[in-house]
Structure 1
Amino acid sequence: MSRKPAAPQAALTKQDFEALSDFRYQLRRFLRFSEDAARAEGVTVQQYLLMLHIRGSADRNWASVGELAERLQAKQHGVVALVNRCEAAGLVSRKVNPDDRRVVQIHLLAKGERCLNRLAMLHRAELESLRNTFRVARITAFNDDGADRL
């Protein structure tokens, strides 16, 4: 689901543009790091994200294809193809939900858990190194009234 753009507010300042530019730059650096880390682990970024969203499912250790499609912001048929590739690589498995046979549960396998744990540790360390950069960008992106411009 996409949000409607916010109504135009006061004109942005040079400092606002600098903060937005720096935020996008740091975000892109993090995404490049993620791409390189996943590739070094022998998976794609999409495979890493699929495993992350399975493990990150609230209150359970599996996710449905529909939930994964939402988290990945992808079409369900694309997620099914991604699950197929992850299943072929021994990272995930499918199980029919015993409570609702229409729902297919996607579970991490041991190989997927190990891969995800290694990548998640690297990502957490990288995020820690960026923490102050993002904090500075966020502080400068506030109006005097506290409204977030980013």
Structure 2
Amino acid sequence: MQPTDIRDPAILIRTLADFRYAMRRFYQFSEKAALSAGLQPRQYQLLLQVAAAPEHTTVTISYVADRLGLKHNSTVELVDRSEKEGLVARSEDSSDRRRTILRVTRKGSQLLSKLAGQHAEELNDAAPRLIDALEHIRRHARREAQ
């Protein structure tokens, strides 16, 4: 995608549509890959957030709820299902007994590793389209700010 005039609103709109389409295709891929691995898509997202939390971050239900954009009670249900399936484990926070700390189990880590490789391959294919669209949007935003 090579825009001819970054100031043209029609080109910007087309670029935004192309970007959303590329993202939607990636999300659809991700959902199908998770289901093929025996996970619900939200369980894969949960595993990603728990496993990838920055060092020294206490991974709690609240942390995961925020990262996933879910309500607290929906996150509790997701964690309950995932714990029953052996994907995550909970432990009591020794410094605040009201909080539960989450970690990914060995089973969860194995599934996550498998899916991460598949996702990296898919993103490698999608990256040129996404990067082009983002660069065009960034140039447009810079131009508008001037």
TM-score per shorter chain, which class?
A: 0.7 to 0.9
* 1:115 Cα deviation from its structure 2 partner: 0.6
Q: TM-score, normalised by structure 2?
A: 0.88
Match of 1:112 in 2: 108
Cα distance in 2 between the residues matched to 1:61 and 1:144:
33
Residues 4-83 of structure 1 aligned to structure 2 (within 5 Å): 13-60=9-56, 63-83=59-79
138-147 vs 119-128, which moves further:
138-147
Deviation at 1:12, TM superposition (A): 6.1
Corresponding letter in the other structure for 1:45: P
Q: 1:17 to 1:55 in 2, by over 3 A?
A: same
Segments of structure 1 that go 5 or more residues without pairing to the other structure are 1-10
State the aligned residue count: 138
Contact persistence 1:55–1:62 (CA under 8 A): no
Q: Deviations over 1:24-57 (max 9, x none)?
A: 1000000000010000000011000000000011
Find the counterpart in structure 2 of residue 134 from structure 1.
Answer: 130
Contact 1:48 1:116 in 2 (8 A): yes
Runs (4+) of structure 1 moved beyond 6 Å?
none
Q: Is the 8 A contact 1:61 1:107 kept in 2?
A: no
Q: Distance in 1 between matches of 2:132 and 2:92?
A: 46
Q: Which runs of 5+ in 2 are unaligned?
A: 1-6
Aligned-pair identity in percent equals 31
Asked whether the 8 Å contact 2:12–2:140 carries over to 1, the reply is no
Q: Secondary structure at the match of 1:59?
A: coil
User: Is the contact made by 1:54 and 1:61 (CA closer than 8 Å) also made in structure 2?
Assistant: no
Single out whichever of 138-147 and 111-120 deviates more from structure 2: 138-147
Higher relative contact order (CA 8 A, sep 6+): 2
Contact 1:62/1:107 (8 A) holds in 2 = no
Name the structure where helix makes up a greater proportion of residues: 2
SS across alignment from 1:122: helix
CA–CA separation in structure 2 for the residues paired with 1:82 and 1:145: 41
